Amino acid sequence: MEGKIPLIGDKFPEIEVKTTHGKMKLPDAYNGKWFILFSHPADFTPVCTTEFVAFQKRFDQFKKLNCELIGLSVDQVFSHIKWVEWIKDNLKIEIKFPIIADDTAGVANLLGLIHPGKGTNTVRAIFIVDPKQIIRAILYYPQELGRNMDEFLRMIKAFQISDKNGVAMPANWPNNELVKDEVIIPPAADEKTAKERTKQYECYDWWFCHKKL
């Protein structure tokens, strides 16, 4: 894995990390579960604080989807601990997920979380990893833009439905402008199937069919 930033479809690289919950081995610590690894630029910064509160507010919703959360920045572990204490004391929110202390930037460099054009801190990155330890999505945000945690909940739900039913999810699912909360049937691979599709499903054309779950 050395020298190659992991991409969608790759297995999440095996790494041992120190966190606010002690040492962990990834991705094995979450084997059989979905997990979201998210990096933030720095502790004790306003946008990052709003993000951690937003993640924690949805912590139980992620848990119901069999999805764990783990944060990361290049701060030291004592900084993470003090920041979590500050959030609890001042905002009355207890952060229940671990935060990786990547003070040597080894994990950040391995995962491609430091973008030189945006400084030496980690960018706001998201890795969504499935129960088979495969990376399913990677998103990068600049330091000045906080993330939308409801989108990550939507993504986990959509991945799970797609995996279970062999379907694709339309834009803005479940509130798509064309098919509402329905799902997309994968395109036909041959002429016979193409002709049958329009009889089996609601279709705009043979290559654009949809159904209710």
Q: Residues with catalytic annotation?
A: 48
Maximum C-alpha span of the chain: 65
Torsion of CA 131, 134, 135, 137, to 10 degrees: -60
DSSP 166-204: T-B--TTTTSBTTTBT-EEPPPPSSHHHHHHHHHHSEEE
* Burial call 119-131: b when 16+ CB within 10 Å, e when fewer: eebbbbbbbbbbb
What is the sign, positive or negative, of the torsion defined by CA atoms of 108, 109, 111, 117?
A: positive
Q: Which amino acid is at 63?
A: K
- Alpha-carbon distance of 16 to 107, in angstroms, equals 9
- Alpha-carbon distance of 49 to 90, in angstroms, equals 11
Tell me how far CA of residue 151 lies from CA of 55, 76, 88, 126, 157, in angstroms: 11, 29, 25, 11, 10
Paired strand residues for 24: 17
Paired strand residues for 125: 140
